[in-house]
């Protein structure tokens, strides 16, 4: 799955547990036909998509939170990520399974349990540290304890940190704790080739579990995706048609991961390059400019924006300006998904 995602040369997959030791990191382009469209109109020399960083971390087994398998090392690797793409085996076959049978819901519960145990341990240690301060009247410690106590109660009850309702202010405190079960989860159902289009009974169980948790899922055949990653674009398109698939599953997975993190895209375009930039939903224009360069944010004057539809109609920024369609936006403007933007700044 990781090889297909990152289009790395795939070695023969090792058929035993813990074949991944050190985490593998790769960057994947976020598929966006809008970028190709604006690049074609502007005749840009380069097309630079925005990217997600994907980290392949070894699987966890029961007792990982106490050091079983490869243990705490991998819990630390997960802690550094923004979200979890949990790849679940939803196919039969000869590939070894550490539990000796295929059950994706059980596998998901095994990993989630280990993450909850690790979180509970971290929360309890932090509580023992902060409780004395709170009793002594320390305001920050009291505020932290008001967040830690409901988290500890939920985790003790076998619930994730995500299941606890918090105010927006308290959520900022929780994020600083870097809890594993606070991270959003996308379940990736890895099915056999024949089930790539519609899924199977095992992926249906995962879909039901994900819906109950308020999480998302996608169905993919890693074997098909790995084959596609080795083909030229035209060959890949023909192969997808033969398999009855409208698009590569990895495109759906990447977009789902992008949405999971509440990310969106704005564009810059010119004869040298058309480029997509990633920002969080709700980002104001100066912060969006800072994604390109810190000087853009510090010296922000204004953002000149237009839509892809206006670029299609008028063909270039000069004509958009002459038609009175170019919007001049200030510091309070929240950049929208799909905006084409030119920033003016002064340092």
Work out the end-to-end distance of the chain between its first and last CA atoms, rounded to an integer number of angstroms.
Answer: 45
Q: Round to whole Å and give the CA distance between 205 and 37.
A: 39
Beta bridge pairs of residue 52? 28
Q: Which of 289, 308, 305 is nearest to 297 (CA)?
A: 289
Phi, psi of 224 (to 5 degrees): -65, -45
Token pair 């599953």: residue:
249
Q: Round to whole Å and give the CA distance between 292 and 282.
A: 17
Structure tokens at 179: 């809890």
Q: Residue 204 is inside which H or E element, if any?
A: helix 201-213
- How many alpha carbons fall within 13 Å on the CB side of residue 336? 10
Phi, psi of 238 (to 5 degrees): -65, -40
For the cut 50, the answer to whether the pLDDT of residue 13 exceeds it is no
Q: Round to whole Å and give the CA distance between 113 and 104.
A: 14
**Burial of 285 (C-beta count, 10 Å sphere; 0-12/13-18/19+):** buried
For the cut 50, the answer to whether the pLDDT of residue 346 exceeds it is yes
276-319 per-position pLDDT tens digit: 999 999 999 999 999 999 999 999 999 999 999 999 999 999 99
127-186 per-position pLDDT tens digit: 999 998 998 888 999 999 999 999 999 999 999 999 999 999 999 999 999 999 999 999
**Burial of 251 (C-beta count, 10 Å sphere; 0-12/13-18/19+):** middle
161-175 per-position pLDDT tens digit: 999 999 999 999 999
Structure tokens at 239: 């192969």
pTM: 0.84
- pLDDT, position 247: 87
- Where are the domains positioned within the chain? 282-345
Task: Give the range among 180-184, 253-257, 303-307, 338-342 with minimum mean pLDDT.
Answer: 253-257
Q: Round to whole Å and give the CA distance between 6 and 51.
A: 11
Question: Taking each helix axis from N to C terminus, what angle separates 104-135 and 201-213, rounded to the nearest 10 degrees?
Answer: 20
CATH code: domain 282-345 is 3.10.20.30
- pLDDT, position 100: 78
If one counts every other C-beta atom within 10 angstroms of the C-beta of residue 153, the result is 12
Structure tokens at 268: 């810059």
Give the residue with greater pLDDT, 257 vs 64: 257
Q: Round to whole Å and give the CA distance between 265 and 243.
A: 31
59-85 per-position pLDDT tens digit: 666 665 565 544 566 677 888 899 999
Q: Round to whole Å and give the CA distance between 171 and 178.
A: 11
């Amino acid at each position: 799955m990781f090889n297909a995602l990152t289009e790395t040369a795939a070695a023969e997959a090792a058929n035993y547990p813990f074949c991944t030791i050190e985490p593998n990191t790769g960057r994947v382009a976020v598929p966006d036909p809008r970028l190709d469209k604006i690049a074609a109109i502007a005749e840009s020399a380069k097309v630079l998509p925005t990217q997600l960083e994907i980290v392949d971390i070894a699987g966890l087994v029961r007792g990982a939170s106490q050091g079983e398998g490869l243990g705490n090392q991998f819990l630390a690797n997960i802690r550094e990520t923004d979200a979890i793409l949990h790849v679940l085996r939803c196919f039969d076959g000869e590939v070894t399974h550490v539990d000796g049978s295929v059950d994706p819901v059980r596998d998901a519960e095994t990993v989630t349990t280990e993450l909850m145990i690790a979180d509970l341990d971290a929360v309890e240690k932090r509580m023992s540290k902060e409780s004395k301060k709170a009793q002594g009247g320390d305001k920050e410690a009291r505020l932290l304890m008001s967040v830690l106590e409901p988290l500890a109660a939920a985790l003790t009850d076998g619930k994730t940190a995500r299941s606890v309702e918090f105010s927006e202010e308290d959520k900022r405190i929780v994020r600083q704790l870097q809890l594993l079960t606070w991270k959003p989860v996308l379940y990736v159902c890895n099915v056999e080739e024949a089930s790539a289009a519609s899924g199977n009974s095992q992926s249906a169980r995962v879909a039901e579990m994900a819906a109950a948790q308020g999480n998302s899922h996608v169905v993919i055949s890693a074997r098909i995706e790995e084959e596609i990653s080795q083909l030229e674009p035209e060959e890949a398109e023909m192969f997808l048609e033969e398999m009855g698939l409208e698009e590569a599953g990895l495109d759906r997975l990447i977009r789902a991961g992008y949405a999971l993190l509440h990310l969106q895209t704005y564009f810059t375009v010119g004869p040298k390059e058309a480029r997509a930039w990633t920002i969080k939903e709700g980002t104001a224009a100066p912060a969006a400019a800072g994604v390109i360069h810190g000087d853009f944010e510090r010296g922000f004057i204004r953002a000149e924006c237009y839509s892809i539809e206006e670029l299609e109609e008028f063909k270039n920024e000069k004509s958009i300006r002459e038609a009175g369609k170019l919007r001049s936006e200030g510091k309070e403007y929240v950049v929208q998904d799909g905006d084409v933007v030119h920033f003016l700044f002064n340092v």
